[in-house]
Structure 1
């Protein structure tokens, strides 16, 4: 007699709650996609078990005691590489800022909508037993690793005189395009958000948004590749700016701001002198901070002087910056970030921005 088929292993989730009902409604929803262990904030282990897929935190963010207990448990490195989903009482910006300050990698808001929550959970928390063994999981990991390898050469080697070749970028672009096409933008951003910080994370976020936008627009494959390369290298000039300046927690002085604003020119000069990089990549590197009304830098370009590939990169660059946590501020919610960009009016291509809306807001 054959042994019964073994059921597929599910995610293992830890639900930390300070609610009197132990977040029973949320726990019942989560059980549809994984095994759920519910603990109080005091019972959050100092170190999570290796087979844990992720942490869900459902606490009163206005309770100093609960907030402090969660902060104490998450401030170290033990949970750093693990997705951390915080549940908000509502979608107000204050709660989102508090959650990100405590270490959230993603948030959901009440009232709870089971279908939406399950979709977010499946994307945010990979199935530990099967996810990385699937072609989808492997493809995602290979894409992020390939992009990271290019950035490592860009930020760590290029300032030392070690050249970055166009072949390095070509080798990575196939894996990046496949990763986002065969998984999702959300999974890309979650993976990047858990494992990367600072300029690396920003470039990876911009690349993810750019690829997803290109695929949403139905760009030809050659154009998708051009945009992928340009987005990945758009901030190459920051390799020549002191890290302490890029990560400064307070407001930059005028002199410091002037130095940071040199990064497009420095990146362009470095790769142009090296040779071998296509004109549209150099265009993006030099001009991604230009605005249609002529108020950008370094050349105060305006209107038709700014190419389509630069317009697209500028939109995803600004959006990624707004939704990321920075040394000097908490991230803005996705809806708030998009509204802020709409408020920029004639600085941006508003028609392109509206085309970006489903990519920016559709998966969050």
Structure 2
């Protein structure tokens, strides 16, 4: 065993609860690459987990009423509600996925196992025990939401009043946002920001949550996760210069109001470019997040390779967030319907990136 593995083992300890005859040996072998693994039968799940436990992985037959009830009873304890819980799906069937989330899953993986993909999900789902007390989960979430909200205030209230938005404001917030979602879950983030009374704030916070979860799901490097988080926070900065009566209108916009709304990418770009200090790729996202690959988007009618990867990613989470949010004039779409609508957009969106977003869309919301 290498020193690197020894270090990982002391930093992350996982509980693997299995009802399989082989005790999930293949999965246990993969998990040992990132930490210490204690494999037990589901009937032996302790009533109260030990303090150094980073999280629990559950590998059961989700079609077995007996197994499901047993795990439900075990994980009902308050101590488990605050702990990351990853469930293994035997297939991609809707029933298994819904059963896992009903049991309190914070993430899922599916057979057949992709070792590299699993390790990426584990690192994102289960924090190292060193330097992070599990009791701080709620505090980390609150700090992240507060930091994101502070950026929204600077964008929508202070920027129109002439107070410059600094790139350092975004950097400061992103650290807390990434920690909040990494140490809690996207579901908890969406719940925390979903009741926000200001629609424009809520949308940006939804987009940020989905963007960070998407980046973590893809196993992006930390630097790239931060880039996508920044893009999500900033993408709608131009709405700060759109009349509130249009932004908060409790009904569909008229053609004139829609044309006014379509000015927000250009206005946001012009404001940030004029004050300086923002990287070109952030300005690219602000200006082009409503462009489509087939050239039918706005404001520049870009197409194909003219649209950067970070813009393509932001566009996907922006559209999805808008569809699953409750609006004053309509109820939110279900995650399945929202994702299906985006598939129907065809070559307007990068379908490869959309397919990669599917586990986030179906698993987290």
| Counterpart residue number, 1:119 | 104
Residue 329 of structure 1 pairs with residue 314 of structure 2: no
- Greater alpha carbon shift after TM alignment, 219-228 vs 230-239: 219-228
Secondary structure (helix, strand or coil) at the match of 1:186 reads: helix
Q: Distance in 1 between matches of 2:205 and 2:178?
A: 12
What displacement does 1:31 show? 10
| Counterpart residue number, 1:11 | none
| Counterpart residue number, 1:272 | 273
Change (3 A) 1:196 1:177: farther
Q: Distance in 2 between matches of 1:114 and 1:342?
A: 25
Q: Distance in 1 between matches of 2:317 and 2:282?
A: 15
| Counterpart residue number, 2:353 | 352
Change (3 A) 1:117 1:305: same
What displacement does 1:110 show? 11
| Counterpart residue number, 1:88 | none
Let me know the Cα RMSD of the aligned residues: 2.9
| Counterpart residue number, 2:313 | 312
The unaligned stretches of length 5 or more in structure 1 are 1-6, 9-25, 36-52, 54-108, 123-131
Q: CA deviation digits over 1:335-358, x for unaligned, max 9? A: 100000000000000000000001
Q: Distance in 2 between matches of 1:115 and 1:207?
A: 25
| Counterpart residue number, 2:5 | none
TM-score (normalizing by structure 1):
0.66
* 1:237-252 paired onto structure 2 within 5 Å: 237-252=238-253
CA contact (8 A) 2:106 2:185 kept: no
Q: Distance in 2 between matches of 1:255 and 1:309?
A: 30
| Counterpart residue number, 2:283 | 282
* 1:254-269 paired onto structure 2 within 5 Å: 254-269=255-270
How many residues align structurally? Answer: 261
Q: CA deviation digits over 1:193-243, x for unaligned, max 9? A: 134540101000000000111111111111111111111010000011111
What displacement does 1:114 show? 6.6
| Counterpart residue number, 1:129 | none
Change (3 A) 1:194 1:118: farther
CA contact (8 A) 1:30 1:118 kept: no
Secondary structure (helix, strand or coil) at the match of 2:163 reads: coil
Q: Distance in 2 between matches of 1:293 and 1:114?
A: 38
Q: Distance in 1 between matches of 2:302 and 2:143?
A: 37
| Counterpart residue number, 1:181 | 182
* 1:106-185 paired onto structure 2 within 5 Å: 116-119=101-104, 134-185=135-186
Secondary structure (helix, strand or coil) at the match of 1:160 reads: coil
